[in-house]
Amino acid sequence: MIKKLILLLLSFYDFLHQRKIIKFLSKKNLTNIDTLFDVGGHKGESINLFLSNMNVKKIISFEASPLNFRFLEKSKENYSKKFNKTEILIENIALGSGNKEIDFKQFDESSSSTLSDINEE
C-alpha cells in the first residue's frame, strides 16, 4: 500500500515537473527542434512529452538501464507510429564525460536506478 502511494506521489510530482519543462521551452520559443537528445530515456515518458508538445525532426534517447531499455524498445514502435514525422533513435548507453564501463544499480522502482554509488547505511 505504501509503495503504491509513493509511486502515485512520484508520478504527480513528475507530471508537474513535465509541465514546467514544456512551459519553459515554450517561453524560450524552443518548440521547433532539428535534433533533441533525451538523456535518461527511462521508459519513453520524455519521448512522449516532447513529441506531444513540440515539433522535433529527430530524437535520440539514451537509457543506461538494460531493463528500462528493453521496455523502451517495445514502446519505440508505438511512438514511431504515433509520431511518424519524427525519426526516433534509442541507445542503451549512458552519457558522461569519459569513456568507461561502470556498474548500473537497478531498483524495483526503476526511476530511482542510478550510476552513482549507494550509501546503504
Give the mean pLDDT of 43-50: 91
- pLDDT 10s digits, 57-113: 999 999 988 888 998 999 999 999 999 999 999 999 887 788 877 776 666 655 656
Per this entry, what is the length of the chain?
121
Protein fold of 30-96? Rossmann fold (3.40.50)
- How many whole angstroms separate alpha carbon 79 and alpha carbon 90? 12
What is the residue extent of each domain of the chain? 30-96
Per-residue pLDDT, 81:
94
Sheet with strand 55-62: strands edge to edge:
32-39, 55-62, 87-91
**Is 33 in contact with 54 (CB distance < 8 Å)?**
yes
* Model confidence pLDDT, tens digit, residues 10-41: 888 888 999 999 999 999 999 999 999 999 88
Contact in structure between 94 and 64 (CB atoms under 8 Å): yes
Please state the pTM of the whole predicted model. 0.78
Rounded Cα–Cα distance for residues 114 and 33 (Å): 29
